[in-house]
Structures are given as structure tokens and as C-alpha cells.
Amino acid sequence: MMRFSGVCSAIVLVVLSGFAHAEQEAWALFDKVQHAVQQYNFDTSFVVLKGTKVDTYRWLHGRTDTQEIEHLIPLDTSGVDILRRDSVVYYLLTDRPAFVTRSSSIPELPSLLFEPKSKVSELYNAIAGSSAVMSGRNAQLLRLTAKQSSRYNYWLWLDAETGFPLRIDTLSEQQTPLERWLVTHMQISPELPENLRALMDADLPAPADSIDKALPQTSHQLTWLPDGYQQVTEPATIPQLENSLLSYWLLTDGLHQVSVFVQNSQRLPTQAYRDGATTIFVQAGNKMEVTVIGPVSIDTARQLAASVQ
């Protein structure tokens, strides 16, 4: 009996060791994909698919010995060009002065490509999947499975040779595809892309030393937060809404952000819809209207809105 028990213990240890090794290999793939988008010189195009809606972008990135630069350009709309030089991000508008802020990445790009692995691993388990051919390239699947069932999951396919992301699917808790990020063209080179050379030294405005305006004094309270989320203590103001806001909270789990707004009632019906992976939920009332916007389920957004007291 003792001998049988020892054999069982050895089998358990072998299985656990195999799981640990598999997880290490999966996180090594995550390191590889982050290294590709943060260190390589590249010129790529991608589309974002949200149901029947398709948005197309060109994304260029480059590094010199002392500087990093990237440029995100919408191709099929008259949207805002976004340029980042090191930790300064410029929103370049055609009819207005540039809006300048500070960030180590362009917020409109998939955040999981840039957030530290230590933060992502708090929220997700990493599992290496099978290989496939995608756009004529060998691709390796990496699944990021949420540790809380209410959070979205991600499936990433990365180029087996370079580690560059070829496709990212955002899946609901029921594994329903909500949004797809798909590379349609990729060129990686040892040299800085020519289009970025002039932008590297272009004369652009410095970020203003802004003083955030105080949030409105309010008697409202947010009495519930989703698992893993915390309130941002000093969220940036929203100029477009500052005259109509009664209360405002910005929540983050380190990877995603959710906004909760309270405004005077417009006497509209309660409504909810999704724009890809982003939920927009509006809870109407006789005196106030609560709006929740962020990458959470409609049920979570409803709970957040109901928790405003």
C-alpha cells in the first residue's frame, strides 16, 4: 500500500511539473509577442472587425539607439492620426491644435501588447495552443484565459518566426467572438521606416503641464466594483462632459478601464449595446442617468449602474 501511494505521488508530481513547464512556455510566447511590437522596426496594416463594422489602420514603429517612435493612421476614415515619441503621445487633428498627453504606448492599440507581464498574469492564465497557417505564415496560438469568469478572454496568433501578432480575438465569458484584430500586411526591417524619419525630428508641441480640474462635489457613491477593479484616484477630466457631469468614476484592473458617469436624466429608456468588446449601458431614472462604458459584460455594467447610490 505504501509503495502504491508513493507511485501515485510521483505521478502527481510529474503531472504538476508538466503543467508548470507548459505555462512557462506559454508566457515565453507572451514575452516574444511583446518584444516584437516594442523592439522591432515595422510597417504594418491591420483591421478591427466588430460585427459587420470594419476599421482599417496603418501602424508604423521604429527605434534608434536613443528614441522610440510609432504612428497609428486610420485608413478609411477622417479620424485622428496618433503619433508617439517615447512617452509623449500626439493626437494630430486637421482643424484643431494637436492634443498632447503622456503614455508609454498608444492607448488605441491592444493594451495587452504593452502591459507588464506581471500585471497580465494576475488576471489571466496562459495556454499555448496549436499551430496554423495564417496569411501564408506559420502562426502559433496563445490563449489568455481569465481567472475571473466575468472577464473577457483573448486568443492571440503570433508569427512563429518573429513573434509579431497576426490576429487577436476578444471572446466573451461564453467564448463568443466580440472583436477581432487582424494584420493584413506586415513588413519588419532592420532600418527605421522611412515615413518615421521626418516625424522623429518634427517640431511638435510639448505636453502642457496641466492641472486636473477637481471632480464635481457629489453626494453619489459607487457601492460595488467588479472583481479585480479599483477606482483611479485622480482620473483625467473629460472636457466634453464636464458641464453636465454630476459624478464620474474611472475604474481599472490594470489592463482594462471602465468609466461610470452620472448626469441629469434625459428621460430616455434604459438601453444597452456593444461596440465590439466595448459595452455601453445607460440606466435611466426620473432624476439621474447612469452610463457605463468599458470592456465588461452587459450584466457587469448593469450591476455597476445599479450600485450608484
pLDDT given for residue 223 in this prediction: 95
Are 207 and 102 within 8 A, CB to CB? Answer: yes
- CA atoms of 169 and 157, how far apart (whole Å): 9
Tens digit of pLDDT for each residue in 75-126? 987 778 999 999 999 998 887 888 898 899 999 999 999 999 999 999 999 9
Instruction: Judge whether residue 16 has pLDDT over 50.
Output: no
pLDDT given for residue 157 in this prediction: 97
Are 73 and 57 within 8 A, CB to CB? Answer: yes
pLDDT given for residue 31 in this prediction: 97
Domains and CATH numbers, the chain: 20-200 (2.50.20.10), 230-306 (3.30.200.100)
Are 123 and 111 within 8 A, CB to CB? Answer: no
Count of CB atoms situated within 10 Å of the CB of 309 = 9
pTM assigned to the model: 0.86
DSSP 19-33: HHHHHHHHHHHHHHH
Q: How many residues are listed for the chain in this entry?
A: 309
- CA atoms of 60 and 83, how far apart (whole Å): 10
- CA atoms of 6 and 9, how far apart (whole Å): 5
Are 282 and 273 within 8 A, CB to CB? Answer: no
Instruction: Judge whether residue 67 has pLDDT over 80.
Output: yes
**Cα 145 → chain centroid:** 15
Instruction: Judge whether residue 278 has pLDDT over 90.
Output: yes
- CA atoms of 49 and 179, how far apart (whole Å): 6
Q: pLDDT exceeding 90 applies to what percent of the chain?
A: 64
Tens digit of pLDDT for each residue in 118-162? 999 999 999 999 999 987 899 999 999 999 888 899 999 999 999
Tens digit of pLDDT for each residue in 243-258? 678 899 999 998 999 9
pLDDT given for residue 5 in this prediction: 60
Are 136 and 156 within 8 A, CB to CB? Answer: no
